[in-house]
Chain A
């Protein structure tokens, strides 16, 4: 036999190697040093938004790329946290609509504004950027950028330069919503585009706008770094920080872990269940109401049980929104309508959206249903998605609530992009497969996004996202009047009527408003969470 001891020596040699390997991997408990005045931030995105002008990845793309690098003619006021943010002058100092021809808008541009590359902002730059989106024959035309934003400016028919600092826009029909549309069109530097070989992808590597931040570095899928643009035209918006590093961390748990382990100073949307742990470890939570609604859109095609208003009201009364709020760690506002009661568009609806299962049962009984003879509903939901919060858990919770009063829900779960596709296709489409509900969440930041696109009958799918074919002539008339109102106060008054009518009609099932919870270290100071999807980091500093 082989001598066991010698064999053992050979084994020991191998073991030694293993020990060495283990040693080199041994944990070091030191935390990485932090640079002064650098904010490291974990986004919910899976990737860095594109930097070449119009950002992708929805509003978070605007928040952490678009509005960092660029300004629009009209900006959002992001300085207040106690009232909904308003539109304020951006690269346009003022604008007005022509009294004789309300399809014509004159914009007076701000003088002395410089792009990051030092070139001057003027009317030519405005025309250049609109041609980029809308003129297929212009050399700077970008189908990709157009696809990202053109749907936000449906009213714009044409535009022209009047002089170096005046631009005129013409709309298809008179619309008071024009400012809410133009605030999405970001101004990129024509000079920099020339310099980067007239290639938008190249431009994206060294982008130039007029925004308060300059791009310092961008590693796709890993990180993006911004440094202040000290020469920003609005001195109150010159950033205080030396640097912002934003990291895409799509998994909520991973974001939480990154904050707890000190890898980042700030995270967007922590995992709700982790909030007590985050707070107990000395981090602070920041949240504020903002224009968001998580709702169920209802099919109104023939044969849908939702055509009976008693069923719609019953469903709204069956939902335990406080329970859903608890599910979200307390970071949500139970919805009593499409917007919150503090919003100027809330109005005075008579139908009170609340949790009252007995009233719901009574309504259903009247409509001929009960727990033994339930309403059968098929709902399309997503497993995740932007603004969808915790879609699976929330929907399952609602399923239970509704079952208790006599509404039986069957889910069809798809991924977020597929759900968007189904939303666009409409309730009558074969893909919808007879579904009665689609669960989507979105912004209510501007009147078009909040109301018009869902409730005007001519925007029914596939023309628009009136998914359920909501059709109410009086609502159509109200929406058109609102669109035609040029005085903000008058417009808000009409929108309040629109909203009250929608609530009284129980046009949707409203569930909760998100409050955009953010968790950060106590070293982060000076942040004001505006009541907006967009946020400003210019006032933030590290202690």
Chain B
């Protein structure tokens, strides 16, 4: 068991290195002058040259990679081209803001997903099950950027009862868990929760349906155990799956909320990524992608380890 966990942790190292190579390579195949974001259109050649040297773009690519990797390991992602401010600070702020959204979405996703999934699994084959399954499929089929827009149209444009964008008074800086700010959470969180609801519903339904046919449940019943205990058993057995799916969904949401954040102008990592792409802000672009990918890798790792702790049979070689 512990050997498995150790192996699993060690395996992250080559993956992480591979990830850094991909990110660095991606950013450097990008067409266009990397200094566009910094230099105005008619800046003289000499100033441009000074900046090229200041940012180290005159060095060979492998050297640039080594320098970048070395600094990134110590948490230094460099200085944003566009703003002259440390990239790490921008990312830290963005991650917190996106986590607020992702946490809300996962909370709703787990609650509703387990609920609908459990009912559907229990009444497998009935019209309730068909309805729930259809709902789940709709959840994973919906383009969430469009759903967000539709919610804005209904609740902001037509009814004018909920704010359409932003994090509320004072923005992220003055964020508080009060009504004035929470109102701003409602639409983006609902939008983001639809996919986790769909995915969790599907897996819970399958798990519950499977467990109910298992021998031990039939045995428990034969023993005359109260059905509530059986319900608890079912929950305990479904937990690892729900946990795994939810954990992975948090990772997905953190990297995948870019479209929803764009719709709601939510100042999270997705917004930051969008900005970095369109302003060709290379240090920011590299930093954001790296942090999001690493977060995803670590979530995967945690999910695997937790699963193997709960259920040792899950430990794969």
User: Which A residues lie at the B interface, using CB under 8 A?
Assistant: 1-3, 6-7, 9-11, 14-15, 17-18, 21, 24-25, 27-30, 32, 46-48, 50, 52, 56, 58, 136, 143-144, 146-148, 150-151, 154, 201, 204, 219-223, 247, 249-251, 253-254, 257-258, 260-261, 263, 384, 415-418, 420-421, 423-424, 453, 464-465
The answer to whether B173 touches A219, judged by C-beta atoms less than 8 angstroms apart, is yes
Q: Tell yes or no: B51 within 8 A of A by CB.
A: yes
The answer to whether A263 touches B275, judged by C-beta atoms less than 8 angstroms apart, is no
The answer to whether A25 touches B189, judged by C-beta atoms less than 8 angstroms apart, is yes
| Least distance between B110 CB and chain A CB atoms (Å) | 10
Do A220 and B89 form a contact, CB below 8 Å, given A32-B180, A143-B50, A424-B41?
A: yes
Q: Tell yes or no: B139 within 8 A of A by CB.
A: no
Do A257 and B93 form a contact, CB below 8 Å, given A18-B112, A249-B265?
A: no
Q: Tell yes or no: B127 within 8 A of A by CB.
A: no
For window 207-265 of B, CB contacts with A under 8 Å fall at: 212, 221, 226-228, 230-232, 235, 262, 264-265
Residue among A10, A15, A201 with the highest chain B CB neighbour number at 10 A: A10
Q: Tell yes or no: B107 within 8 A of A by CB.
A: yes
The answer to whether A56 touches B83, judged by C-beta atoms less than 8 angstroms apart, is yes
The answer to whether A7 touches B115, judged by C-beta atoms less than 8 angstroms apart, is no
> Which segment of B9-17, B64-72, B130-138, B164-172 sits at the interface?
B164-172
Chain A residue with minimal CB distance to B179? A28
The answer to whether B118 touches A11, judged by C-beta atoms less than 8 angstroms apart, is yes
A247: contacting residue among B43, B108, B171, CB under 8 A:
B171
User: Which B residues lie at the A interface, using CB under 8 A?
Assistant: 31-33, 36-44, 47-48, 50-51, 54, 79, 82-85, 89-90, 93, 104, 107-108, 111-112, 114-115, 118-119, 122, 152, 156, 160-166, 168-173, 179-180, 182-183, 185-186, 189, 212, 221, 226-228, 230-232, 235, 262, 264-265, 267, 272, 275, 278-280
Give the A-B pair count, Cβ closer than 8 A. Answer: 186
The answer to whether B279 touches A417, judged by C-beta atoms less than 8 angstroms apart, is yes
The answer to whether B90 touches A28, judged by C-beta atoms less than 8 angstroms apart, is no
The answer to whether A47 touches B83, judged by C-beta atoms less than 8 angstroms apart, is yes
The answer to whether A257 touches B231, judged by C-beta atoms less than 8 angstroms apart, is no
Chain B residue with minimal CB distance to A205? B85
Residue among B82, B163, B165 with the highest chain A CB neighbour number at 10 A: B165
Secondary structure of the B contact surface, majority rule: helix
The answer to whether A14 touches B115, judged by C-beta atoms less than 8 angstroms apart, is yes
The answer to whether A150 touches B44, judged by C-beta atoms less than 8 angstroms apart, is yes
Q: How far is the CA of A18 from the CA of B51 in the complex (A)?
A: 54
Chain A residues whose C-beta falls within 8 Å of the C-beta of B172 in the assembled complex = 219, 222
Can you name 9 A-B residue pairings with CB atoms under 8 Å?
A: A10-B235, A18-B115, A30-B179, A32-B169, A50-B83, A151-B47, A221-B272, A263-B166, A420-B36
The answer to whether B47 touches A150, judged by C-beta atoms less than 8 angstroms apart, is yes
| Least distance between A353 CB and chain B CB atoms (Å) | 25
The answer to whether A58 touches B228, judged by C-beta atoms less than 8 angstroms apart, is no
The answer to whether B112 touches A6, judged by C-beta atoms less than 8 angstroms apart, is no
Do A151 and B84 form a contact, CB below 8 Å, given A222-B171, A258-B166?
A: no
B231: contacting residue among A10, A136, A417, CB under 8 A:
A10
The answer to whether A257 touches B163, judged by C-beta atoms less than 8 angstroms apart, is yes
B40: contacting residue among A30, A147, A223, A250, CB under 8 A:
A147
Do A222 and B267 form a contact, CB below 8 Å, given A7-B122, A27-B186, A147-B48?
A: yes
| Least distance between B199 CB and chain A CB atoms (Å) | 17
Q: How far is the CA of A417 from the CA of B82 in the complex (A)?
A: 12
What 4 pairs between A and B have smallest CB-CB spacing? A28-B179, A257-B164, A254-B265, A2-B227
Do A257 and B165 form a contact, CB below 8 Å, given A15-B115, A464-B42?
A: yes
Chain A residues whose C-beta falls within 8 Å of the C-beta of B226 in the assembled complex = 3, 6
| Least distance between B45 CB and chain A CB atoms (Å) | 8
Do A18 and B111 form a contact, CB below 8 Å, given A47-B83, A219-B171, A222-B267?
A: yes
Chain B residues whose C-beta falls within 8 Å of the C-beta of A136 in the assembled complex = 50
The answer to whether A421 touches B33, judged by C-beta atoms less than 8 angstroms apart, is yes
Q: What 10 additional pairs, Cβ within 8 angstroms, besides A2-B212, A249-B166, A254-B164?
A: A144-B54, A144-B84, A147-B40, A151-B43, A221-B90, A222-B171, A247-B171, A249-B265, A257-B166, A418-B36
